[in-house]
A and B are shown apart, each in its own frame.
Chain A
Amino acid sequence: AQSVTQLDSQVPVFEEAPVELRCNYSSSVSVYLFWYVQYPNQGLQLLLKYLSGSTLVKGINGFEAEFNKSQTSFHLRKPSVHISDTAEYFCAVMTLGNAGNMLTFGGGTRLMVKP
């Protein structure tokens, strides 16, 4: 079985500052990796994904993440955050060959951008 750990439940940051949201996973088989964003009172939206190829993945809204296989991490970064980035962010994994494309989610990190 696989699991996902998001090390920070809340991350406060000032507007225009850089941010990193941390995600570590464990799995005995190869995985795909994802970051989702959930704005208040809305469903989840895919921010970016790693399926194969370059370990640096760029997503929407200026976010990027780097897959580090040796450290089993997939941290999310943005060089300069905006107030509108305030949301909850979820890291998720999916094992390759998973017939149902079932996702395992981390507990979430609430990003709070302050003016």
Chain B
Amino acid sequence: NAGVTQTPKFQVLKTGQSMTLQCAQDMNHNSMYWYRQDPGMGLRLIYYSASEGTTDKGEVPNGYNVSRLNKREFSLRLESAAPSQTSVYFCASRMGTGTSYNEQFFGPGTRLTVL
């Protein structure tokens, strides 16, 4: 099993450009998450999806859109990139959808620079 995979690994954008970060998991997990990681701030939740067709905002959703394409894939889109979106983006997934704890498994990250 590959676990959680993310593409691309690195990306450089100019201000105003758009792009989509891809995430896929092969563990048959139900819930998926997008985080951003900034120095000194840890990881902050952007969006999460409890199941196909459902998405909810996290702590920092502004400037992002998401799509839960199917059970395996959860994409993050920047419509008009800004330098403040320079960050490392992590996708994660977990088996459950409710309140019971299940471990979240993280992908390797996408390092995005917006000039």
The chain B residues found within 8 Å of chain A, CB to CB, are: 4, 31, 33, 40-45, 48, 50, 56, 58, 90, 92, 94, 96, 98-99, 101-104, 106-109
Contact = CB atoms under 8 A, between A and B. Distances in A.
Contacts of B4: 43
29 contacts: A6-B42, A9-B40, A41-B108, A41-B109, A43-B4, A44-B92, A44-B106, A46-B103, A49-B103, A90-B42, A96-B99, A97-B99, A98-B99, A99-B50, A99-B98, A100-B48, A100-B50, A100-B56, A101-B31, A101-B101, A102-B33, A105-B42, A105-B43, A105-B44, A106-B42, A107-B40, A107-B41, A107-B42, A108-B42
B10 to A, nearest CB: 10
B102 A101 contact: yes
Residue with the greatest number of chain A CB neighbours at <10 A, chosen from B41, B101, B103, B108 = B101
A103 interface: yes
Interface of A: 4, 6, 9, 32, 41-46, 49, 51, 90, 92, 94, 96-103, 105-108
Contacts of A99: 50, 98-99
A51 B50 contact: no
B43 A103 contact: yes
A90 B56 contact: no
Residue with the greatest number of chain B CB neighbours at <10 A, chosen from A41, A45, A101, A105 = A101
